Amino acid sequence: MERLAPPLLDLAFWTAALTAIIAARYLAVCWIAHALIWGGKDAPAGRRLNRDPPRAAAIRHELVLSLVSSPIYALPAAIAFEAWRAGGTAVYLDVGRYGIAWLFVSAALYLLIQDAYYYWLHRLLHGRWLFRHAHAGHHRSRQPTAFASFAFDWPEAALNAWLLPALVFLIPIHPAVILALLLVATVAAVLNHAGAEVLPPWWTEGPLGAWLISAGHHSLHHTRYDKNFGLYFRLWDKLMGTDMAPQHSPTDPLIPA
Ligand SMILES: [Zn+2]
Ligand SMILES: [Zn+2]
């Protein structure tokens, strides 16, 4: 039997390892968030967005899609990791090389690029053919839970997963910033799908909420497919006329009973 070349073995190893890390992160964070929000006597914690409590069947569907997404996100990350070990990316370890300010500028750049990419990809995914084949899985959660935060059909996962690993070849970034970005992505996705608005009114009703996406904002996308396509910021939605202000009413007539 022909032996796999060592680089391919390394890639397979890191893809498997990152799959395990991504899936474990998903299960741990979502379980904790879900338990905190829906597990108490006065559930949900925060302002209610879903008419009904989460259903086990919906969570099972979200779990399956998310676990399938894990290796799809792991493969491009493993490729970038292998390339970094070979010295072929723009990842740098010495903070002094670009200065402290670049840590923040690079983080902002990555967030803005991810946000713009996701907005336009998301608009395309709502085309009839692509929706059916690549985005319907995420939208089966009309009343999403934290477990929907990573629940994508595999083509949507593939269209998303390559962006960050590709950017690390182009825009210098420190590993600490990469970790911070992954943390922001996870927390934002979990909170925006939690089924309750845990952020306080001074946030959602104030200047922060005017520009940052929250659960009240993204929940509307799950019921009114033509509004609120953004990922982190309301900028593109506002520019393109697809923004709808968050509503915190479980009696939204479009939420199925
Ligand atoms: Zn959508
Ligand atoms: Zn969503």
Helix (H) or strand (E) holding 19: helix 6-38
- Which ligand minimizes its atom distance to the CA of 217? 2
Residue 219 Cα to ligand 2 midpoint, Å, equals: 7
- Which ligand minimizes its atom distance to the CA of 224? 1
In this predicted structure, the answer to whether residue 232 has a pLDDT above a threshold of 70 is yes
Q: How many helices (H) and strands (E) does the chain have?
A: 12, 2
Task: Tell me the residue type at 215.
Answer: A
The CA-based dihedral angle spanning residues 138, 22, 213, 104, taken in that order and rounded to the nearest 10 degrees: -150
Residue 5 Cα to ligand 1 midpoint, Å, equals: 40
Residue 237 Cα to ligand 2 midpoint, Å, equals: 15
Of residues 180 and 8, more confidence is placed in: 180
Assigned domain for 223 exists: yes
Residue 142 Cα to ligand 1 midpoint, Å, equals: 11
Query: Quick one: pLDDT band at residue 109, thresholds 50, 70, 90?
Result: very high
- Which ligand minimizes its atom distance to the CA of 141? 2
Using a pLDDT cut of 70, give the percent of the chain over it: 95
User: What pLDDT score was predicted for residue 257?
Assistant: 41
Query: Quick one: pLDDT band at residue 253, thresholds 50, 70, 90?
Result: very low
- Which ligand minimizes its atom distance to the CA of 229? 1
Which residues constitute the domain of residue 137?
Answer: 6-239
d(CA 253, CA 249): 10
Residue 229 Cα to ligand 1 midpoint, Å, equals: 6
User: What pLDDT score was predicted for residue 100?
Assistant: 98
User: What pLDDT score was predicted for residue 40?
Assistant: 87
- Domain count along the chain: 1
- Ranges of beta strands (E only) in 106-233 are 196-197
Query: Quick one: pLDDT band at residue 45, thresholds 50, 70, 90?
Result: confident
Task: Report whether 217 contacts 199 (CB < 8 A).
Answer: no
Assigned domain for 36 exists: yes
Task: Report whether 185 contacts 118 (CB < 8 A).
Answer: no
Residue 192 Cα to ligand 2 midpoint, Å, equals: 7
User: What pLDDT score was predicted for residue 138?
Assistant: 96
User: What pLDDT score was predicted for residue 248?
Assistant: 65
d(CA 61, CA 243): 28
Residue 251 Cα to ligand 1 midpoint, Å, equals: 21
Which tens digit of pLDDT belongs to each residue from 61-106? 999 999 999 999 999 999 999 999 999 999 999 999 999 999 999 9
d(CA 232, CA 192): 10
In this predicted structure, the answer to whether residue 256 has a pLDDT above a threshold of 70 is no
Residue 172 Cα to ligand 2 midpoint, Å, equals: 30
Task: Report whether 135 contacts 151 (CB < 8 A).
Answer: no
